């Protein structure tokens, strides 16, 4: 039988319920749990799995005492089924938005302080201009968020430029230029009165330290390694902005921040810039999205929205080509 005929025959026998069951089994690991999710008997799930394995001509899952685990073929089928499910979800959202006059949803995440003020303002203004868009802000580690983008669950990720974004299924665009890092101190910190500050003296101070694995932590370590010193370790390690502000305001601590964020704290009287050249810059902030799935209308419109505001605020000065998008001009 010709290859094209075989493929067409296989596709014609596959049903949406087959794909849904395969994805659910990968998530839950047992027939009983999947049966509970779909409100059917385990025997019905077992029958559906047998059908798709008969169509594939091989087992998709290995059965064991500790549950079911996908085979190599099963992993590929799960990946494709997840992709198809994401596209169907976007199609359903578009149909519903047309039928009911809603505008779907927008799910974003961010992993950097540099973009937080711009993103917060943009989200508020975007929601005011598009009140029928449901905006959700997700959290998680960068690797987990990348997985959510490739699976179509997360629309946009804002994070520092990272080699992990250099994948064919991801598209990343600068939204905030790189900027220098500065050391800030609590307003009453004794070091502010010192005429000259050494790198070694800084290692003896209490710090609000960046989270492990963050780009700020990487640059802090690199800056002190340039002085043949280990980076500061004393203090409180957090990526929580309100916690950072509270500590700086109520005790004598230091922190490393992008220059624009530091300037905002200084302007608000929450911190003062320390006279020490860290000689370090943080990478540009990128907006990352799925390069294979067509973006939701809301995501395409939000990218255009935040790009315009970044350029207007002087945060993005590179010549980035980006076509304007109206919220009604894209599917999904």
190 with 273, same domain: the answer is yes
Would you say 57 and 65 are in contact if contact means Cβ atoms under 8 Å apart? no
257 with 222, same domain: the answer is yes
- For residue 185, give every residue at least 6 positions away whose Cβ sits within 8 Å of its Cβ, in sequence order, or none: 191, 192, 248, 252, 253, 254, 255, 271, 272, 273, 274
Q: Within a domain: residue 240?
A: yes
102: confidence class by pLDDT, cuts 50, 70, 90 = very low
Last residue of a domain, one of 19, 54, 84: 84
Q: Within a domain: residue 322?
A: no
Per-residue CA distances from 274 to 48, 147, 191 (Å): 65, 39, 8
**How do residues 184-199 score in pLDDT, each as one tens digit?**
999 999 999 998 999 9
241: confidence class by pLDDT, cuts 50, 70, 90 = confident
159 with 76, same domain: the answer is no
49 with 195, same domain: the answer is no
Q: Tell me the whole-structure pTM to 2 decimals.
A: 0.63
165 with 307, same domain: the answer is yes
Q: What is the mean pLDDT of residues 199-215?
A: 93
Domain membership of residue 51 as a residue range: 3-84
60 with 132, same domain: the answer is no
266 with 224, same domain: the answer is yes
323: confidence class by pLDDT, cuts 50, 70, 90 = very low
* Residue 298's CATH number: 3.40.190.10
Number of domains in the chain: 3
| Residue of 59, 275, 104 lying closest to 185 (CA atoms) | 275
Burial class (CB in 10 A: 0-12, 13-18, 19+), 223: buried
Q: Within a domain: residue 328?
A: no
């Amino acid at each position: 039988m010709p290859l094209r005929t075989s493929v067409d025959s296989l596709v014609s026998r596959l049903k949406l319920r087959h794909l849904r069951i395969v994805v659910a089994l990968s998530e839950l690991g047992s027939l009983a749990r999947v049966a509970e999710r779909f409100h059917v008997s385990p025997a019905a799930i077992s029958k559906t799995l047998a059908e798709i394995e008969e169509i594939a001509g091989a087992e998709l899952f290995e059965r064991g005492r500790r549950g079911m685990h996908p085979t190599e073929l099963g992993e590929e089928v799960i990946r494709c089924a997840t992709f198809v499910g994401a596209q169907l979800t976007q199609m359903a959202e578009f149909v519903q938005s047309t039928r009911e006059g809603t505008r779907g949803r927008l799910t974003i995440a961010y992993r950097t302080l540099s973009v937080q003020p711009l993103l917060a303002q943009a989200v508020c203004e975007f929601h005011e201009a598009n009140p029928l868009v449901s905006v959700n802000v997700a959290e998680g580690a960068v690797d987990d968020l990348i997985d959510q983008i490739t699976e179509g669950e997360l629309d946009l990720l804002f994070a520092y430029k990272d080699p992990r974004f250099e994948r064919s299924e991801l598209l990343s665009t600068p939204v905030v230029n790189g900027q220098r890092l500065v050391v800030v101190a609590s307003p009453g910190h004794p070091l502010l009165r010192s005429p000259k500050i050494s790198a070694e003296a800084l290692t003896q101070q209490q710090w609000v330290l960046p989270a492990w694995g963050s780009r700020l932590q990487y640059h802090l370590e690199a800056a002190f390694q340039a002085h043949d010193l280990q980076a500061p370790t004393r203090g409180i390690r957090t990526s929580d902005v309100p916690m950072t502000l509270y500590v700086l305001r109520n005790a004598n601590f230091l922190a490393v921040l992008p220059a624009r964020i530091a300037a905002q704290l200084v302007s608000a009287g929450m911190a003062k810039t320390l006279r020490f050249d860290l000689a370090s810059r943080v990478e540009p902030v990128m907006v990352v999205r799925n390069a294979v799935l067509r973006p939701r209308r809301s995501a395409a419109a939000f990218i255009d929205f935040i790009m315009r505001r970044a350029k207007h605020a002087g945060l993005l000065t590179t010549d980035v080509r980006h076509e304007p998008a109206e919220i009604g001009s894209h599917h999904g």
